[in-house]
A and B are shown apart, each in its own frame.
Chain A
Amino acid sequence: MQTKIKHDFLQSEKGQLADKILRSCVHCGFCTATCPTYQILGDELDGPRGRIYLIKQMLEGHTVTKETLNHLDRCLTCRACETTCPSGVEYGHLLEIGRSEVEKRVKRSLLQKVLRKTLLLILPFPKRFAVLLQTGQLFRPVLPGILKKQIPAKTRLTKLSLKNHKTKMLILDGCAQPALAPEINHATRKVLDALDIELVSFSGCCGAINQHLSDEEKALVIIKNNIDRLIAEFDNDIEGIVMTASGCGAMFKEYPHLLRNDEHYKNKAEIIANKTFDLTEIINTEKLKNKLNVNKNLNIAVHTPCTLQHAQKLPLNIENILSSCGYQLSTIKDKHLCCGSAGTYSITQPELSAQLREQRLSGLMVGQPDMIATANIGCLHHMNAGSTVPVRHWVEIVAENLKP
């Protein structure tokens, strides 16, 4: 596509990257077909091709207002459009530039500012998040009451007696997950123990929240801190870091891109990304199969999180593991669709988010499953609030079926 990016911006590294991405878009419109927001709203401006155009306009020096801001805000960053795009347009990277540029040009309303600031102050910090959950107040208007259901879960967890193994990996404890669903990492430890892998806790936030809310600076601080600590850990015979939330995994894998201009961190980020694995990537299904008493009566619908299928490009991993272990998978519709959770989206865009959830759930329910399996805490939580069947992390299901 033809571009006429403003000269001074074009001189910057970001300008070059944006220009390259914009020019690789041929305006075919294929991506609109799989964009969840376009499918609901039917406005070019709420689809990837239109958003690309909005960003192009802005970088070409046209007037921008809240309109552009709103349409970019409404993007879920699910990156379904990237999976669909035959031309290889790196939409996610373009959007990142677009979002940071629009923040510079358009003022947000006070209310929005407060909301976003609050989120930034709380979500990335595991302790603060946990405290808030217990008081259970701040998000009452936007987060449904299932939160209360989740908290006692901690007490239910049985003490594990795990063996020591030669293969050691880190496991990210993340920000929201330990408080919301400690049972996920608990189950992971059990399952990996059965596969002779020992896990060592690594706590912290991946930086995605700040990144999504266009607080790049803070994000980089968090990321660099993670990198330094990880590099130190990797010295001690650790093979890599396992992610049980695909959102965090996707973020870790983005580190090299985010630090591409940082001479000091560039290579380190590359090392981290190469040693970051989604849980599905390290499961040896042959071995696992023999350790399971699979509940064959269970009909499971798999919701592969966007961060797993579109960002990490691992669209079939969950299905492959479950079906090779002998689980019965139910048919689903529109596999590519986002559930509407999308990081902080359920809080910043509550209406659309609820609509998307409904749509996603109805696609997952076509085969009348007993349960929905997924791989990201955000999706799990968000869908649980609207689902008639339980939504669980796939590893929990597997862990329950481990032979004693």
Chain B
Amino acid sequence: MRYHCRMTRATKDNRKSLRKQLHQVLPKTCILETPEQTIPYESDGLTAYQQKPWMVVLPESIEQVQTIIRLCHKEGVPVVARGAGTGLSGGALPLANGLLLSLAKFNRILDINPANRSATVEPGVRNLAISEAVEKFNLYYAPDPSSQIACTIGGNVAENAGGVHCLKYGLTVHNILQLKIITIDGELITIGSQALDTPGYDLLALMTGSEGMLGIIVEVIVKLLPRPEQAQVILAAFDDVVKAGEAVGAIIAEGIIPAGLEMMDNPAICAAEDYAHAGYPVDAEAILLCELDGTNEEVTEQIQFVENLLTQKGATSLRTSQNTAERLKLWLGRKSAFPAVGRISPDYYCMDGTIPRHQLPFILQKISDLSKEYNLLVANVFHAGDGNLHPLILYDANIEGELERTEEFGGKILELCVKAGGTITGEHGVGKEKIDQMCVQFKSLELQIFHDIKHSFDPQELLNPGKAVPTLHRCAELGGMHVHDGLLPHPELERF
């Protein structure tokens, strides 16, 4: 069952010929090829990884994308799609011998259909731009990654992005109806439909979260939801992170599904407050932000209930938003928390493990222990209601060896998450970054079927090769290096 990486099949001549043909079909301003032009594309939101692409193209029409893909297919040159480049797993990390296909110019909202509660958008449309455009119909697009101001819907679909409001309203996969995809042979196909069910296999689910490895998304129809009549956020402060973690479980156990339930610890609170001036208590060890929405009556009732519950669970202070502006301000701090951490540290490494909620207090304790062991600070900001952790390991890339220590620390956290019955990535994707941890999460049979799925769409492995799914070969090598609990993770594989 050896699996060969076929990433480097294209020759120099292939690229030369591709280059010539691309210049014939694209305007000059849509092709970037000197290092000066391409180096700024070397990273996405995860700067720990850099790779200068061979060439960057910025097409403006679906026909151009089709032509580009056809030419790449013909010449065997790999393609990496890129949206806004906010990904945190190196999903849009370019290839030295490949084309980087930016969809940033596809930023038009094509149609809004309030009666069908749907909108048709191009892949480069920013997540937040959709909600802004449909606000006049009193509708919104529910998944709201913290990066929603900048990230694109194409990138959201490719990563199955989640967000603050996904606890109640679901992830990207729950909020899209239809995709138009360009397959590796350049065909334009429609997956899903405007109806709720579509005949055949659920290719829409398969495409969502496929990290640009199965096709290029060129159009998305999203579902829209009516804005709730009322929404309020409670800001609860705690003098102990573990207590805050326990309060999260308590709310859910009471049969309440908040619209959002987020947690931040002290370093994150301080950094976010410094930017957003949301009035976060900077002396608290942790805060919870709990949003409740629905009809006026319902929200009033639930706010009171949750306020009492949080007090019982040891909240040291409570504040409930009194108007929309205040509510949005409270969220602004949370949503800016990652980059705001840039105020207290030159670099951060964001982890994305997800665990069963009841493991929260345990994992938080473990992370704090590891932080001491590695002598690296951690700021915690996360989707507590979903059990989706985002420990941000703070480091300085200019100090030699610190990134390596950080990565090792991060790897430990992910393994802990798997051990606790969780997963290595809740919403940021595997990309380049967590490819080794995939060997911990899955056995070779599953990895093989992932490759099989890839081959069903892209037999030559030209779309974003080397991401998301490790080769069995790689896992075997890794297994040879790390022996876990005296057991090799893949005893069935031959060692190289």
Enumerate chain A interface residues (CB-CB to B < 8 A): 1-3, 23-34, 38-39, 42-45, 49-50, 53-54, 57, 62-65, 67-68, 84-89, 333
Q: Check B149–A62 contact: CB distance below 8 A.
A: no
Given contacts A32-B84, A65-B34, A87-B339, 16 further A-B contacts (CB under 8 A): A2-B397, A3-B398, A24-B346, A27-B43, A27-B45, A30-B336, A33-B126, A33-B128, A42-B104, A50-B40, A57-B36, A62-B39, A65-B36, A86-B272, A87-B342, A87-B343
Closest beta carbon of chain A to B331's beta carbon, Å: 13
Contact check, B34 vs A88: say whether CB atoms are below 8 A apart. Answer: no
Q: Are A86 and B275 in contact (CB under 8 A)?
A: yes
B86–A28 contact, CB under 8 A?
A: yes
Question: Which residues on B are within 8 Å of A, measured CB to CB?
Answer: 29, 32, 34-37, 39-41, 43, 45, 47, 58, 84-86, 102, 104-105, 107, 124, 126, 128, 132, 147, 149-151, 272, 274-276, 336-343, 346-348, 397-398
The answer to whether B126 and A45 have CB atoms under 8 Å apart is no
Instruction: Determine the residue in chain A with the shortest Cβ distance to B103.
Output: A42
Q: How far is the CA of A333 from the CA of B107 in the complex (A)?
A: 17
Cβ–Cβ contact A45 & B343, under 8 A:
no
Report B120 CB to chain A, min CB distance, Å: 19
User: How far apart sit A31 and B45, CA to CA, in the bound complex (Å)?
Assistant: 12
Given contacts A39-B107, A50-B40, contact A26 B347 (CB under 8 A): yes
Chain B residue at smallest Cβ distance from A39: B107
Q: Looking at the complex, which one of B34, B124, B337, B340 makes contact with A42 (CB distance below 8 Å)?
A: B124
**Chain A to chain B contacts (Cβ below 8 Å), 8 pairs:** A26-B338, A28-B86, A29-B147, A32-B150, A33-B149, A44-B41, A45-B32, A67-B37
In this complex, the member of A2, A3, A63 whose beta carbon has the largest number of chain B beta carbons within 10 angstroms is: A2
Determine whether the beta carbon of B85 is less than 8 Å from that of A29.
yes
What 8 pairs across the A-B complex have the smallest Cβ distances?
A: A87-B342, A2-B397, A86-B336, A53-B40, A42-B105, A42-B104, A26-B342, A86-B339
| C-alpha gap A333/B133 in the complex (Å) | 10
Residues of B contacting A: mostly = mixed
Chain B residue at minimum C-beta to C-beta distance from A87:
B342
Indicate if the CB atoms of A24 and B343 lie closer than 8 Å. Answer: yes
A382 to B: closest C-beta gap in Å: 24
Complex CA–CA separation, A25 to B338 (angstroms): 12
Q: Are A30 and B339 in contact (CB under 8 A)?
A: yes
Given A29-B45, A88-B275: A1 in contact with B39 (beta carbons within 8 A): no
Query: Do A27 and B47 touch across chains, with their CB atoms under 8 A apart?
Result: yes
Neighbour of A2 across the interface among B29, B107, B151, B398, CB < 8 A: B398
Name the residue in A23, A33, A85, A86 with the highest tally of chain B Cβ atoms < 10 Å from its Cβ.
A86
Give min CB distance, A69 to chain B, whole Å: 10
Contacts A28-B45, A28-B150, A57-B39; A1 near B346 (Cβ below 8 A): yes
Residues of B near A53 (CB, < 8 A) are 39-40
Name the A residues within 8 Å of B124 (CB-CB): 42
User: Which residues from chain B contact A38 at a C-beta distance below 8 Å?
Assistant: 104
